[in-house]
Amino acid sequence: MSKPVTEYQTRVYTLLQQIPQGRITSYAALARALKSSPRAVGGALRNNPFAPEVPCHRCIASTGFIGGFNGDWTKVPSGLNCEKKLKLLSEEGVAFDTKGMLLDKSCWWDEFRV
């Protein structure tokens, strides 16, 4: 049984839905928009029961690194969950190199309406 979604998670998921297909944002950009912390954003994304419709896969590290997905960060980019994230983003036209780094910096997006 899944946990109820908190007010904070709802705010994070609402902002995620603003990110256009083929664009990405960072945990830090979401945190700035929410006046929160990247770690708190990551916690909300780790528990996203609405993925991929609520596109947590469009959130990566501010360095351009693919980051985690479904709580799997340590094996990136070789972990199964991160392969799924890479596949979802690739299908949207967002490409990463073999080390999990974003190739096209024009994909960044942070025009959140709070």
Catalytic residues: 56
The H-or-E segment that residue 40 falls in is helix 38-46
Q: Other C-beta atoms within 10 Å of 109: how many?
A: 16
Cβ atoms of 95 and 103 closer than 8 Å: yes
Instruction: Say if CB 91 and CB 58 are below 8 A apart.
Output: no
59 forms beta bridges with 25
